[in-house]
């Protein structure tokens, strides 16, 4: 998006002041969201950026050493309900997440079909 702002500014021959204003108008919402996320992480987990928030959350899925791909594939059906499944008060089953996963998969397929 910032590249688009640069191109529009160059094509319209606008001033540097207008370029800075357009960049700020684009960046302010992201800065507000990032600041709120950092405050929430600081208050809840004492980790403002969220790097260590979920490191040891579930001992079933934390491994000190890397696992072979065959072990990781066996854990994938339960992966969907580890983090986001706990957000909903009723819980969400793996079938719902499989359906949600079809959205980016179908988008990729649509993109590949349209480029042919």
pLDDT tens for 59-78 read 666 667 777 888 877 877 66
- Answer whether residue 58 is part of any domain: no
CA distances from 94 to 1, 59, 98, 104, 105 (A): 35, 20, 6, 17, 16
Q: How many domains does the chain have?
A: 2
pLDDT computed for residue 56 by the predictor: 57
Q: How many residues does the chain have?
A: 116
In a domain, 64, yes or no: no
Please give the residue range of the domain that contains residue 73.
Answer: 69-114
Q: Over 60: is that where the pLDDT of 87 sits?
A: no
Query: Domain for residue 51, yes or no?
Result: no
Question: Are residues 73 and 39 located together in one domain of the fold?
Answer: no
Using DSSP, state whether 42 is helix, strand or coil: helix
pLDDT band with cut points at 50, 70 and 90 for residue 41: confident
8 Å CB contact between 85 and 97: yes
Residue 19 lies in a domain: yes
- Global pTM value: 0.39
Residue 62: inside a domain: no
The alpha carbons of the chain give a radius of gyration, in whole angstroms, of: 21
Going through the chain in order, the beta strands assigned E by DSSP cover none
Contact (Cβ atoms closer than 8 angstroms) between residue 93 and residue 104: no
Instruction: Decide if 56 is inside a domain.
Output: no
Q: Give a yes or no: residue 103 inside a domain.
A: yes
- Kindly state whether residue 52 falls inside one of the protein's structural domains: no
Q: Could you tell me the pLDDT band of residue 28, with boundaries at 50, 70 and 90? A: very high
Helix, strand, coil content of the chain in percent (nearest 5): 65, 0, 35
């Amino acid at each position: 998006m910032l590249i688009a702002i640069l191109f529009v500014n160059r094509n319209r021959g606008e001033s540097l002041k207008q370029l800075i204003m357009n960049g700020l108008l684009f960046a302010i919402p992201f800065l507000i969201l990032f600041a709120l996320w950092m405050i929430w992480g600081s208050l809840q987990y004492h980790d403002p950026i969220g790097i260590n928030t979920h490191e040891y959350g579930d001992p079933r899925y934390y491994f000190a050493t890397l696992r072979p791909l065959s072990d990781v594939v066996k854990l994938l059906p339960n992966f969907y309900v580890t983090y986001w499944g706990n957000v909903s008060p009723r819980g969400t089953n793996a079938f719902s997440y499989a359906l949600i996963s079809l959205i980016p998969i179908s988008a990729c397929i649509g993109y590949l079909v349209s480029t042919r």
